[in-house]
Amino acid sequence: MSETQTIRVGLGDRSYNIDIGHGLLSTLGKRLAPFTNRRHVAIVTDGNVAKHHLASVEESLTAAGITHASVIVDPGESSKSYAGLATVCDGLLAAGVERNDLVLALGGGVIGDLAGFAAAVLRRGVRFVQVPTTLLAQVDSSVGGKTGINSPHGKNLVGAFHQPQYVLIDLSLLETLPQRERRAGYAEVAKYGLLGDAGFFNWLEEHAGDVIAVKPGSVDHAVATSCQMKAKIVAEDETETGVRALLNLGHTFGHALEAATGYSGKLLHGEAVAIGMVQAFRFSAKLGLCDPSLGSRVAKHLKAVGLPTHMRDISFNWPNAGELLRFMRQDKKASGGKLTFILVKGIGEAFIAKDVSDQHVLDFLNEDFART
């Protein structure tokens, strides 16, 4: 029921394994030994994760005869910045990291993106491994090699593709993750069902509570299915020239909402994605692409797990439709002035649409604002 599962991300000579199971952290040292040249690992983590899990990581490394140093940054999105990058790079250099050493990203998506990017540029590139500690990082950000930081011009605008050597997913680490963060990560789990696997979404409708409660068996299935789908899409389209864009279901709307709220604690990324996915379904229905009842079905499910499903669920003075459209344009996914939307024909049937007119978006947003 909860033995270790292994998923392979097939990328030629950059292929790697994702191991998924409960209580795997104690075996980390043994698992990392083949990746270390001089039995030394530099850990990058944040203060919250360090408090809960750094000692176990260090113990496991020491037991395997691996020495270690750590760089600990402040928790939160603000560390994914030029200043945060400098802290990590200089911290790693001060810890004596050499070209052939291994960097270990221990944390959520912020740490994975930041440590991964530092690894991509430090000494022109050192290898790194991911030990994701949030549900979002376990099902999404730790797999696929997108790394980077934010610029004052926008999120994730400075970065690199740098694949990890290995990803270790210890589901037990989610037990210390606050409920709100678990729910937000769950939105990305639901995303996989909604974009490409109706059977998985049906299963989630029955088991979402168990997934969020980190119940063995259920959380394993949800995380493994999500990683499997992400691995398949990344193997097909590593640098997002095509099919990888499907992973942005709910994100064109969601990113605009996040930008509008100033990336504050008012709206977590996964919460924005939850609202954005409902909008993507409703928008698709308005364009005559899918059954109008699906938006309500998706909203009902996300609401049942405690996620917001409409802008009105967030107490915030939202800007008008025109402003939201401007935020969408600032997203890096806009190319040549045209917005890319991920639309749906049904549950599990998402597709990439590059020809959506601004007027359709504005009409939809105005209607959505008015929705009671």
Question: Does 176 interact with ligand NAD (rule: CB under 6 A)?
Answer: yes
CB 117 within 8 A of CB 147: yes
Question: Does 269 interact with ligand NAD (rule: CB under 6 A)?
Answer: yes
SS3 of the chain: helix, strand, coil, percent, to 5: 55, 20, 25
Question: Does 9 interact with ligand NAD (rule: CB under 6 A)?
Answer: no
Q: Which residues contact 199 (CB under 8 A, 6 or more apart)?
A: 193, 348
Question: Does 162 interact with ligand NAD (rule: CB under 6 A)?
Answer: no
Alpha-carbon gap, residue 86 to 283, rounded angstroms: 42
Enter the tokens of residue 362. Answer: 């504005």
Query: Count of residues binding ligand NAD (CB under 6 A)?
Result: 29
CB of 296 to ligand NAD, least distance (A): 27
Nearer Cβ to ligand NAD (91/108): 108
Alpha-carbon gap, residue 12 to 233, rounded angstroms: 14
Question: Does 264 interact with ligand NAD (rule: CB under 6 A)?
Answer: no
Question: Does 108 interact with ligand NAD (rule: CB under 6 A)?
Answer: yes
**Residues numbered 138-157 forming contacts with ligand NAD, rule: CB under 6 A:** 140-141, 144, 146, 155-156
Task: Identify the residue among 104, 173, 227, 273 touching ligand NAD (CB under 6 A).
Answer: 173
Alpha-carbon gap, residue 187 to 233, rounded angstroms: 18
CB of 344 to ligand NAD, least distance (A): 20
* Residues constituting the chain: 372
Alpha-carbon gap, residue 206 to 302, rounded angstroms: 12
Question: Does 101 interact with ligand NAD (rule: CB under 6 A)?
Answer: no
- For the purposes of burial, counting CB atoms within 10 Å of the CB of 330, is it exposed (0-12), middle (13-18) or buried (19 or more)? middle
Question: Does 134 interact with ligand NAD (rule: CB under 6 A)?
Answer: yes
Question: Does 164 interact with ligand NAD (rule: CB under 6 A)?
Answer: no
**Catalytic residue set:** 124, 146, 188, 230, 240, 244, 248, 251, 255, 269
CB 139 within 8 A of CB 169: no
Task: Identify the residue among 71, 89, 105, 137 touching ligand NAD (CB under 6 A).
Answer: 137
Question: Does 109 interact with ligand NAD (rule: CB under 6 A)?
Answer: yes
CB of 233 to ligand NAD, least distance (A): 11
CB of 49 to ligand NAD, least distance (A): 5
Give the range of 33-41, 69-77, 93-101, 285-293 binding ligand NAD by CB under 6 A: 69-77
The SS3 of residue 40 is: strand
Alpha-carbon gap, residue 129 to 112, rounded angstroms: 9
Question: Does 228 interact with ligand NAD (rule: CB under 6 A)?
Answer: no
Question: Residue 214 — left, alpha, or beta (φ > 0 → left; ψ -120 to 50 → alpha)?
Answer: left
Enter the tokens of residue 71. Answer: 């760089």
β-bridge partners, 20 = 5, 169
* Triad 338, 233, 18: Cα angle to 5°: 135
**Residues numbered 18-57 forming contacts with ligand NAD, rule: CB under 6 A:** 46, 48-49, 52
Question: Does 111 interact with ligand NAD (rule: CB under 6 A)?
Answer: yes
Task: Identify the residue among 59, 181, 313, 358 touching ligand NAD (CB under 6 A).
Answer: 181
Interaction site with ligand NAD (CB under 6 A): 46, 48-49, 52, 75-77, 80, 107-111, 113, 133-134, 136-137, 140-141, 144, 146, 155-156, 173, 176-177, 181, 269
